[in-house]
Structures are given as structure tokens and as C-alpha cells.
Structure 1
Amino acid sequence: MAIRPRRSVLYMPGSNARALEKARELPADGVILDLEDSVAPDSKTEARARVAEVVKAGGFGPREVVIRINGLDTPWGAEDLEAAAAAAPDAILLPKVERVEQLETVGRRLEELGVPAQTRVWAMIETPLAILNIHAIAAAARNPQTRLSVFVLGTNDLAKETRAALIPGRAPMLAWLSMCVAAARVYGLDVLDGVWNQFKDMDGFQAECAQGVEFGMDGKTVIHPSQIEPCNAAFSPPPAEVERARGIIAAFERPENAGKGVITIDGRMVELLHAEMARRTVALADAIAARG
């Protein structure tokens, strides 16, 4: 079972040369080099060139490198896509995905540009229409041309577009978050939670990380380096859970349990589905350990 840890994915403004260089050293599982929200209109052309140069230069080690472009309906989107395609990051993040057609358009363009299949597409889910269309958007992953592999939740934009309050516990958004996770799981996508804005409030941040784990999300997008380590800790399986998972796998592999759908371990009934969950836990723990 091949798993790529995506516990913490840090947004880095494409217009900040110092931040882009620092991205190579931070302990985040991934970095999103941003050309959209964090870049002023008069800096977008310069930021595009800088981000492309940084990505081409490499040196990010095990970190997943993602370029967030501007929407194709903006003056910068088409050139952003071409520059990102030429830089060959691990993924290109599309803002404000609301319809399958947006993914198909990008997929066709990447094919025309001869971009290798290993460059994936991530989708920002950040508008009411995206939530209402979430099943169809996730189902686009069945079409290899779309390259869709990850949902990134844009909770700030969701709050803006719906007028819902951004409050601790996110009660107004719970249904939307659950819908995104459910749709993603049907089609084998990963889901990254939205950002926590008050980066000095570590208690609040840790509580929201814990909520994301409870929802079954794979990780969280972050906006400040101080959030990386606690985010990694929250989305890493605890050692005791990994030990239990290894025990479940070992028990099902014993000759006397061959072919059984249910066994007893320490007085507790354990089913094959628990063994499947255990294998994923162990695979994730091993992948995290391999990062060093």
C-alpha cells in the first residue's frame, strides 16, 4: 500500500523570494507555492517567473511541491498554467473548482503541453456551488485525463461566499466538510483541511487539527511555519495505535486464522475490515518514518 504523507501543507506566497527559498528546509510534507490570493495583481507576472524558477531548480527533498495558479477565467490563469506545466511540480492546484468542465479543460491543456502524468491536479473546494457539486467533482477522478488526486478545502472563502461564521468548532460548516470527505473517499482522493487564521493561537489550532483527524482528513493546509510540527503530530498515527495495528495484521497472518473473517484478539472481536484499516495505519507510519 503506497501512501504519501500529506499531514501539513504550507502555503508560501510566490512573490516572497526569501519564503520560497526557506520552503526547501521546512518540515512540512508539502508546500503550495501560491500565485493566487497571496500575490497582488501587479506582482503576479514576477511571482510566476520566480516560482517556476524555484521549482525547476528543485532541492525540496521529500516535500511535495504544488503550484497554485490563478483561475483560468482571470487575466493570469492561462499563462500560470503554462508556466506551472513547464516547471513540472508534483501538482498544480486549481482555485475555485465548481464544475467538472474546469478539470477537463485543464487536463486537456496539460496533455497538449506534454506534461508527464506524474504531475497531478489538486482542486480547491471553496464555494457553495462546489459543495453542491462535490460528488460530480470527485467523480471526475475516474477520468485519468483530469489527474485529480486531492481536495483542498478553502474554508475562508466558503465563509465569505456563504456568510457563515468562522468560529471554533466550525459548526456552520460541519455538513460541508463531511460531504467533501465522503465524496473524496468514494473516488480515492485525499482531503486537506482549510487553514487556521490565528497562527499565534496554538491551542485553537491544535483543536482544529484534532477535529480534522476526527473527520478523517489526511492533513491540513497551514499558513505559518510554527504550525507545521503540531500539525504533523496531530495527523501522525500515535505509536500505540501503530503497535495495535501491527498486532492485528500479525494475528490475521497466523496459519490458524487463514481464511477467517473474524478473530478474537485480547478478548475483542476483530474483523477483516479492521485488518485493512490496520494496514493503512502501518503504511502511513512507515511512510512518515521513511521521510526521516
Structure 2
Amino acid sequence: MILRSLLFVPANSWRMITRSLSERADAIVLDLEDSVPIGEKETARWFIKDFLEDIEDKPKSSSIFVRVNSISSGLYGEDVKYAVQKTLDGIVLPKTESGNDIFMLEEAIKAEENRKNLKNRISIIPIIESAKGLVNINEVVKASPRIVALTFGAADFLRDLGRSYMQLSKDEFELLYIRSVISITAHAYNILALDTVYLGLIIDMEGLERETRIASALGFKGKFVIHPSHVEIVNKIFTPSPQEVEEAEGIVKAYEDALVKGLGATTYAGRMIDEATYKQAKSLLQLVKEITERSKND
């Protein structure tokens, strides 16, 4: 699954919903949580239902998720009833703090899938937003095979620690630990690590790029965004550059030539390369292939 960019879309805005698939994000996330006032939740649910039913032939280049309200809110059950449709790819669960949160969400999903004959189609992406959620992260990820990715919410997490996103340092060292845990856990369970949204000024593209490169360096494979103007930069950073592709192709050829000669290691561009280097290069080329195939469907 390619999820370089995931664009949040307020589900109480029909105009934004209908425009969302043209923004070239790898996924849109129709939001029923933070961006929708309590008095507009019901309208937003109907918008989601109507939209998902109307797009029988959705673009193959875009995945569609819905961020429901948290388990503790008591609203998630109604959210799931409207959201689970055959064109939905997954549910994003905010403020996930335990494996039981995932269990309760999955039970609600199963009930709707069974009622609509859509068994085992809907995936789950938990958002870790508290110290408790981070402590229980392994329990969360092991709770369901539906989990395809893992992410965190920086603003709520920092608030839980008594800090503010507005005071975040330029190099974001305050988020280094949680980013590291999210990435390592995701890789350990063979799912995607997705970075939090950029909460600086919307027009601050330099800040967005800096933050996205920090996440990429830590092993993240994609990032949530809150504005369409952020999609292009995020997609670019999480797409291997032509130079990286050329290097990977060179490594693969050099290593495979070495194997023919009975060697377990060789050199490329003055550097030692071995099986681990070869596997990483092959993974990069596979990612490029998948991105290229996806872009053909735009």
C-alpha cells in the first residue's frame, strides 16, 4: 500500500469532499473528529455515506479513509455505521490508548461488514496521542491484523506532556522519542509508519519540508496533511529521487554480478555492499515500481 500523503478533509464540507480526490494525495481522510463541531456530526456522516455510495468507480490512485471519533467519545459506533461502504479502504482511530480500543472498533466494523456483505475489507490506522497510548503501543498494534499503518498526533501528545506545539523547537527534538518508537514499532510489525500533520503556518513550505525530511530520515513512509498545498512536497520527499533510483539499480547489478562469481560481497561506487544493501536497493526499486503504477491511474 502506497500512503505517502494522506489529506484530511472536513466531512461537514460537501465542497471540500467532492474536490478531495483531485488533490493528488495518495489517500483522503474524511474527518468526523476534530474538524467537525458536535452539532454537525450527523450531517457529516450523511455526506460521507452519500459520497462513498456515489463513487462506485473511484480512482485507483486514491485510497479513502474515514477518521471516526474516539472510543471514549461514544460517537464512533454511529460513525462506523455510515462510513463502512464498499468504496471505503479503512478507518483512522484517534486517541488510541489500548488494544481494547482496537477491539471495540473492529467489532463495530465487523457488524457493518456483515450487514452489508463486505467481510474483512476495512483496514485500521490507530493514532497514538497520549503517554498511555505510547506505553501500550505493542498491545495496540497486536490487537488486529487489520492494522496497516501507525501514526501519532503531535499536538495532543505534547499537550499530554504539558507542552505546546507552538513552542516546538526547529529540529523538533521534543518529538524524536515518539517518532522513533512509532517507526521502530511499525517496522517490527511490517506496517507503515506515518508522520503527524505539520502544524506550522500553512504557507511555511520550508518548515513542512524540513519536518517531512526528519520523518523520512527516521523511517516514516508517509505523512498526514491538513492542506492540499502540502501534498506535492510530501509526495516528493517520500518518493525516491532519480539519483537514488540510479544508485539502487547499480547496487542490484553489482551484487547480482558478484553472486554469479560466487562472492557474498562486492563494492559499488567505492563502498562495500552486501546482502543487506542489496535487499534495501531491491525494496527501493519495488517502491518506485508501485508508485509508477499508481500514477498511471491518476
Tell me if both proteins adopt one fold, taking TM over 0.5 as the criterion. yes
How many residues in Structure 1 have an aligned counterpart in Structure 2?
285
Aligned-partner Cα distance in 2 for 1:260–1:148: 40
Counting aligned pairs with the same residue, the percent is 28
Separation in 1, partners of 2:33, 2:178: 24
* Cα root mean square deviation, aligned: 1.7
Mapped to 1, the partners of 2:13 and 2:151 lie a distance apart of 22
* CA contact 1:153–1:191 (8 Å) conserved in 2: no
Secondary structure class of the residue paired with 1:269: strand
Match of 2:241 in 1: 238
Structure 2: distance between partners of 1:269 and 1:257: 17
Q: Which amino acid aligns with 2:45?
A: R
1:133–1:253 Cα change, 3 Å: same
1:157 is aligned to 156
Equivalent residue in structure 2 for 1:125, among 118, 123, 128: 128
The structure 2 residue matched to 1:22, chosen from 19, 24, 38, is 19
SS in 1 for 2:138: helix
**Partner deviation per Cα, 1:183-209 (whole Å, 9 max, x = no partner):** 111101111111112111111111101
3-state SS in 1 of match to 2:73: coil
Partner of 2:2: 5
Residues 2 and 26, structure 2, Cα contact 8 Å, conserved in 1: yes
Q: Confirm or deny that 1:186 pairs with 2:188.
A: yes
Post-superposition shift, 1:139? 2.8
Tell me: CA distance 1:251–1:37, structure 2 relative to 1, closer, same or farther (3 Å): same
Matches for 1:40-51 after TM superposition, within 5 Å? 40-51=37-48
Q: Deviations over 1:130-159 (max 9, x none)?
A: 11112222233xx43xx1111122111112
For residue 12 of structure 2, give the secondary structure of its aligned residue in structure 1. Answer: coil
Provide the residue aligned with 2:109 in structure 1: 110
User: Alpha-carbon deviation of 1:256?
Assistant: 4.7
Whole-Å Cα distance in 1 between the matches of residues 152 and 262 of structure 2? 41
Local SS of the residue matching 1:148: coil
The equivalent of 1:217 in structure 2 is 220
Higher mean alpha-carbon deviation, 257-266 vs 4-13, is at 257-266
For 2:285, what is the secondary structure of its paired residue? helix
CA contact (8 A) 1:12 1:20 kept: yes
Q: Given residue 67 of structure 2, which amino acid in structure 1 is its aligned partner?
A: R
Deviation of 1:258 after TM superposition, in Å, equals: 6.5
Structure 1: state its 5+ residue gaps: none
CA contact (8 A) 2:151 2:182 kept: no
- Greater CA deviation, 193-202 or 69-78? 69-78
Cα 1:78–1:248 shift into 2, 3 Å: same
- Sort the Cα spacing of 1:239 and 1:250 in 2 relative to 1 into closer, same or farther, 3 A: same
Q: Give me the whole-angstrom Cα distance separating, in 2, the residues matched to 1:56 and 1:258.
A: 57
Moved more, 259-268 or 79-88: 259-268
Question: What's 2:63 paired with?
Answer: 64
Q: Which runs of 5+ in 2 are unaligned?
A: none
2:127 is paired with a residue of what secondary structure? strand
Q: In the aligned structure 1, how far is the partner of 2:127 from the partner of 2:37?
A: 19
CA-to-partner distance for each residue in 1:197-248, whole Å, 9 max, x for gaps?
A: 2111111111101111111101111111111111111111111111111122
Return the match for 1:175 from 169, 174, 177. Answer: 177
Residues 255 and 274, structure 2, Cα contact 8 Å, conserved in 1 = no
Identify the residue that residue 287 of structure 1 maps to in structure 2: 290
| Map of 1:203 onto structure 2 | 206
- Structure 1 partner of 2:32: 35
**Against the structure 1 CA distance between its residues 266 and 74, is the aligned structure 2 distance closer, same or farther, given a 3 Å change threshold?**
closer
Q: Give, in whole Å, the separation in 2 of the partners of 1:34 and 1:74.
A: 15
Is residue 258–residue 264 contact of structure 2 (8 Å, CA) maintained in 1? Answer: no
Decide whether the 8 Å contact of 1:28 with 1:228 is kept in 2. yes
- Residue 52 of structure 1 aligns with which residue? 49
TM-superposed CA distance for 1:252, in Å, is 2.8
Q: Which amino acid aligns with 2:233?
A: P
Q: Does structure 2 conserve the Cα–Cα contact (< 8 Å) formed by 1:252 and 1:258? A: no
1:66-98 Cα deviation digits (max 9, x unpaired): 011112332421111122223541111111111
